[in-house]
Amino acid sequence: MRIPNLFPRIGTPLTFTRNRLYPIDTPRRRLIAKCMPDHGEARAEARGHRLLRAWYPAPELHCRLRLPGHTVLVYERLPAGTDHGLLLDLLNTPDDGDHSALDAYMRHLTDTYLRVFTRTAKLSPPSALVGKLYRDRAAPGGRLDHYYAHHDIPLTAAADGARLSDLARTGLYVNGDHHRLDWAKTISWLRGAFHTPVWSAISQGDPTDVNLAVPLAWLDYGTAGRNAIAGEIANFMFSTAVLGGWLVPTLNPQAFTQHPATFDRLPENTPRISTRSSSGTPHIRFTDRLTRARRRALSRYWELLATPLAARYFPGDAFAEALRPYLAMRIIAVFDLAHMPLDMRLYLIAKLALCTAPDFSPARFFDLTEATCPTS
């Protein structure tokens, strides 16, 4: 006779950020315990989870324990494993011509958003919104200051070469076109950009491909609550186009140990970049590259969600204007430009110049040409 093991089994922890997640199996339940060193963040996450779960599919939160040095949130564990369970894994699946799983997922995702946004959208003052990723990071003493206040970042490998502050004088060339980019003005624009009323809705706030589960569920509730609609869109788009397939796995590879296919796809998701300097002016050329799955996810999201939301809440040019500051914050306030290889830094600076240019077009920025927009 087999004696059932009545003690919980605790598996190897997963580490994505500074939180640790321990899979736990009890005879009745499959759980995951998220240990968070910051009690305030854990409180925000529990609050976000309560709000989000009323509107979106999300695993149950069974209990919250405050211990010295950590708060532990114990969630129902969804069936994730090596290279499966996240949108990331769907995006990493080699393209065999069958897009039905990704298309069905994107349809479900965008339908869910539209349903919730239609019911919860409001023009809200900044104080009603979650501040973590944008307002707080741009505020004095926030992440922008932490990264950049005392650091005029070099734009060449030479110690005496051009620096960020020189761009106000020289501008830069991106794929052959000259752009102005005044770094100090950009920072002060961002400081003020999150202080006016905006269209908002209840959302998870950080919909990256590692925070979206398959079958559809939202994970990670630190920014869940009332968020800017434009911020939610900018976040998904930039994460799918740049962060998820290239920047994050390159700069934070340990977060992907359970998703090794991410590294197989890395070459296909790495832009081609070449840079040179002429009379102190940087010249940056890049060609974005993305797997067909990532392109397809972007164009489905754009067609099924961003376009109808833009028509409803941001008529005319208002949508590009609304996206700009959120996109700029994803470009410079996720990773510190100082702590990355030079060509990656210059690529992001080129993207910042495109996003702040007078003729900024989100469709061009994300390379959403008609040929990539699916018809079905």
Ligand X SMILES: Nc1ncnc2c1ncn2[C@@H]1O[C@H](COP(=O)(O)OP(=O)(O)O)[C@@H](O)[C@H]1O
Residues forming contacts to Mg ion in the complex (CB under 5 A) are: 211, 220
Cα–Cα distances (Å) from 349 to 133, 175, 205, 329, in that order, read 19, 13, 24, 12
Comparing CB distances to Mg ion, the nearer of 166 and 220 is 220
- Give least dist CB 83 to Mg ion, A: 17
CB of 255 to ligand X, least distance (A): 8
- Shortest Å distance, C-beta 120 to Mg ion: 22
Residue 34 touches which of Mg ion, ligand X, none (CB < 5 to 8 A by kind)?
Answer: ligand X
Count, residues near ligand X per rule CB under 6 A: 17
With respect to ligand X, which residue has the nearer C-beta, 14 or 357? Answer: 14
> Nearest 5°: phi and psi at 193?
-75, -15
* Partner that binds at residue 75, options ligand X, Mg ion, none, CB closer than 5 to 8 Å by kind: ligand X
Q: E strands within the chain?
A: 9-10, 14-15, 20-25, 30-36, 61-67, 70-76, 122-124, 172-174, 177-179, 198-203, 212-213, 217-218, 225-228, 272-278, 281-287
Q: Residue 322 touches which of Mg ion, ligand X, none (CB < 5 to 8 A by kind)?
A: none
CB burial readout 38-72, b (16+ within 10 A) else e: eeebbebbbebbebbbebbebbebeebeeeeebbb
Q: Which of 219, 284, 304, 310 binds ligand X (CB under 6 A)?
A: 219
Q: Which of residues 54-93 bind ligand X (CB under 6 A)?
A: 59, 75, 77-78, 80, 86
In angstroms, what is the minimal distance from the CB of 17 to ligand X?
A: 4
Tokens representing 64?
């919250």
Q: From residue 26 to residue 45, what is the string marking binding to ligand X with x (rule CB under 6 A)?
A: ------x-x-----------
Contact partner, 345, from ligand X, Mg ion, none, Cβ < 5-8 Å per class: none
Residue 86 interacting entry, from Mg ion, ligand X, none, C-beta within 5 to 8 Å by type: ligand X
Site for ligand X in 82-141 (CB under 6 A): 86
Q: How far is the CB of 220 from Mg ion (least distance, A)?
A: 4
**Sites for ligand X among residues 174-213 (CB under 6 A):** 210-211
| Tokens found for residue 233 | 């869109």
Q: How far is the CB of 286 from ligand X (least distance, A)?
A: 28
Q: Which residues contact 312 (CB under 8 A, 6 or more apart)?
A: none
> Judged by CB under 6 A, which of 220, 234, 302, 333 binds ligand X?
220
Q: Which is nearer to ligand X, 134 or 347 (by Cβ)?
A: 134
16 binds ligand X (CB under 6 A): yes
Q: Which is nearer to ligand X, 15 or 250 (CB)?
A: 15
13 binds, among Mg ion, ligand X, none (CB under 5 to 8 A by kind): none
**Cα angle: 160, vertex 179, 289; to 5 degrees:** 90
Q: Which amino acid is at 266?
A: L
Strands 281-287 and 172-174: what pairing? parallel
Q: Which residue has tokens 């708060």?
A: 71
Contacts of 102 (CB under 8 A, 6+ apart): 90, 91, 93, 293, 296, 297, 300
Closest CA to 50 of 204, 205, 163: 204
Using an 8 Å Cβ cutoff, are 198 and 123 in contact? yes
Q: Which is nearer to ligand X, 59 or 308 (CB)?
A: 59
| Closest C-alpha among 264, 222, 240, 256 to residue 109 | 240
Q: Where along the sequence are the contacts to ligand X (CB under 6 A)?
A: 14, 16-17, 19, 21, 32, 34, 59, 75, 77-78, 80, 86, 210-211, 219-220
